[in-house]
Each structure stands twice: as C-alpha cells, then as structure tokens.
Structure 1
Amino acid sequence: MDVDYRQAFEHSPVAQAIARNRIIMACNRKFSEVFRGTIADLVGQSFQSFYPTQSDFEETGQRVGPFLTADGRFIDDRVMRRMDGDLFWVRVRGLSYTPESSHAHTHWVFTEIAEVERPGQSLRSSLTSRERDVAAQLIEGKTGKEIARALDISPRTVDVYRSRLLRKYNVTNTEALIQKLLQG
C-alpha cells in the first residue's frame, strides 16, 4: 500500500511547519487554523512574526540552537502571536534535520495548551486559562485597567491574577515576571 505523506502532513490534526533558517517553507491546514492565516499567507514568513517581541525571537533562537545541535530535538511551552495579533500559549516541539546547522532545516509541531493540569508538568503549562490570559496581556505591555477592559473583569481581579503569577514565578515585579514568562 502506498502512503501519501504529503496528504498525511496536510491533513494532520496537529499543527506542523517545515522551516529553513526560521522561515516557514511549508505548513499544514491545522497550523493555518492555529495561527489564523491562510497557508499562502504563512509560507515564506519568518517565525519572528509569531513571537511577542523581536528580542524574544532572537533570544529563543539562541537558546534553542544548542538543543537542536546536541540532541536534534527541542520542546518548550511559550507565548506566541497569531496572525491577527492575539497572544496564546502553545507547546512547541522541534526537530532539526541538520543538527550541525541547527536552524537550517527544521520540523515544528505546535499544540495549544489547555487548562488541564498534570503532575510533573512545567510551570507555564500549569497556569490556569485566566492566568495565561492575564500573562499574555502583561507581555503586550497593557496596564491593569487595560487588561480588565480586554478580559471583561475588574481591575482588582487583574491584580489578584498578577499577584498569583508573581508568586508562581517567584518574582517581585511585573517586569521580572514578563522576563520569566518569555524565557524557557
């Protein structure tokens, strides 16, 4: 029986992209759904478009490279940006076909993180849905009042969630929290 790998890739229920030097060369339908763009819009895009900031894109590339070189694989939970600008939490798994040149030819899989908590999971994936919502708004640089309006909650509720995040990440201010959220 012949297997049509292109069809399997295109119709996979998991968001996938193939990249060369962090430029999307191919992606499947699920990837286009997750990132809210057409395949034609996404192919040729730098992954930089999907990071909250340019510096986050650069720092992540530097941090991921050694893992791809050493093991050929990488996994991380992170905040990413959809084509419409919305931020969301995603688990990213990567594979380098060229470990000697880590980003030269890679395959990436993306899974939106749900609110389900499991023993042994990472700190970021243990956040509640509302904590992730507030964290994403903080990363965008919004004030407590702006976050409250965007999420249709009170400013006091935003303060409660910000305090929880500060405790979970063991930091004392919002700037340090944002740095921790963007780190691996």
Structure 2
Amino acid sequence: MTASPPTPTDLAFDLAPIGLLVTRDRVIERCNRAFVEMFGYSRQQLLGQTTEMLYPSHAEYEDIGARGVRSMLAEGVHRDERIMIHRNRELFWCAVSGHPVDPAHPYACAIWAFEDMRPRRPVRMALTPREREISALIVAGWTSKQIAKNLNLSPRTVETYRLRLMRKLEARTVGELISRVLGLC
C-alpha cells in the first residue's frame, strides 16, 4: 500500500519558513522542519516531550509559562522574545507567538510560531536565568515597575538587577545595555 501524497495544508505546515509547533498541555504533538532545525533535535526526539527541554532552566520554563497563560487568558495570544536553548546547549534569542485553540484553556492545545533571531541577535554573554528574563523585558521596553509587577518582584529588586546587568555588560546607559543584550555592540 502506497502512502498518499501530502495535502497542501501538510506541506504549508511542514515547509513554513518559521518554526511551527502544536502542543497539548505543553507536550510537543507536532512540529515542522524549521522547528526541528532551529533546536537541533530530530522530530522523533521532540514528539511526546515537554517543551521544558527547549528552555535554559526549569525556572524560565515555569516563569514564561505562567506569563503565557496570563496573556492568553487576557488577550487570546502570547508574544514575547526569549532566550531558548539548542540541543548543543547554545543559547539563542527566539521570537515566540502562541495561540490557544480554546481561549479558556490556554495550554490544553496551542499553536506556536518560533522565529530564530540568531542572525540578528546573538547571545554573547553568560547571564543567570533571572538576568536573562529581566534583560528580555528591558529590551521589550518595560519599565522597572512593569517588570516588578509581572515577575512578582519589588521595583527595587528589578533596579538592582538592571544595575548588575549594566556592570556585567559594561554599559553606561540603558540604551547601551539594550544594544549589548541584543548583541549589537
């Protein structure tokens, strides 16, 4: 018995130029070629696994997951830019968008798009998970008060992290800090 040719829908999913992912309860159900290539695993290694394997740490998996649920419940979609981890342990920036099938149950089944930002935004420094999280929000233009509220921290704690990041990356201004985090200088 011969296999039937792929449908146009299957071809569009599999050959899309960005990484596409279907998850159920944060478990990988389906992914396309671009996603497989982006993370360095085979499709068989990804299917049936939780997405936690794609995050630099368990804390980042939990924190970003909690933010994702909040934004999907409030807005019906979640978008962010975050640092992810390749199979070879290389960290890289990724733009991520997720849309739940049922807005009332965001992670029951969700469709995700991943854009690899390595060509324009290399990761050039070793940061802790919290520093990565805060630096991503600074790059997104969030204020210390907004970051504090979102991460359940005090604004003073966020300011301490911002100063630590500036020292670590030898940045004199927030603009310079953003440029260094983005790998522009």
Indicate how the Cα distance of structure 1 residues 26 and 115 shifts in structure 2: closer, same or farther if over 3 A, else same: closer
> Which residue does the alignment assign to 1:63?
67
Q: CA deviation at 1:138?
A: 2.2
RMSD, matched Cα: 3.0
Please state whether the residue corresponding to 1:133 is helix, strand or coil.
Answer: coil
List per-residue Cα deviations over 1:21-78 (Å, max 9, x = no partner).
Answer: 1111000000000001111111111111111110111111111102112222111000
**What is the letter of the counterpart of residue 138 of structure 1?**
L
Among 121, 124, 127, the alignment partner of 1:133 is 124
CA contact under 8 A between 2:92 and 2:118: conserved in structure 1?
no
List per-residue Cα deviations over 1:82-121 (Å, max 9, x = no partner).
Answer: 12211100100111111111111001111122565xxxxx
CA contact under 8 A between 1:72 and 1:97: conserved in structure 2?
no
Identity, % of aligned pairs? 26
Q: Extract structure 1 runs of 4+ deviating beyond 4 A.
A: none
* C-alpha distance in structure 1 between counterparts of 2:17 and 2:80, whole Å: 20
Structure 2 stretches of 5 or more lacking a match?
1-6, 130-165, 178-185
User: In the TM superposition, what are the counterparts of 1:25-174 in structure 2 within 5 Å?
Assistant: 25-113=29-117, 129=122, 132-134=123-125, 137-139=126-128, 162-164=169-171, 167-168=173-174
> Which residue does the alignment assign to 1:150?
none
* C-alpha distance in structure 2 between counterparts of 1:20 and 1:167, whole Å: 42
**What is the letter of the counterpart of residue 19 of structure 1?**
T
> Which residue does the alignment assign to 1:176?
none
Structure 2 length-normalised TM: 0.66
**What is the letter of the counterpart of residue 133 of structure 1?**
R
* C-alpha distance in structure 2 between counterparts of 1:80 and 1:139, whole Å: 13
Structure 1 length-normalised TM: 0.66
List per-residue Cα deviations over 1:107-156 (Å, max 9, x = no partner).
Answer: 1111122565xxxxxxxxxxx63xx321xx2237xxxxxxxxxxxxxxxx
CA contact under 8 A between 2:52 and 2:61: conserved in structure 1?
yes
Indicate how the Cα distance of structure 1 residues 162 and 11 shifts in structure 2: closer, same or farther if over 3 A, else same: same
Q: Name the count of aligned residue pairs.
A: 139
Indicate how the Cα distance of structure 1 residues 107 and 169 shifts in structure 2: closer, same or farther if over 3 A, else same: farther
Please state whether the residue corresponding to 1:100 is helix, strand or coil.
Answer: coil
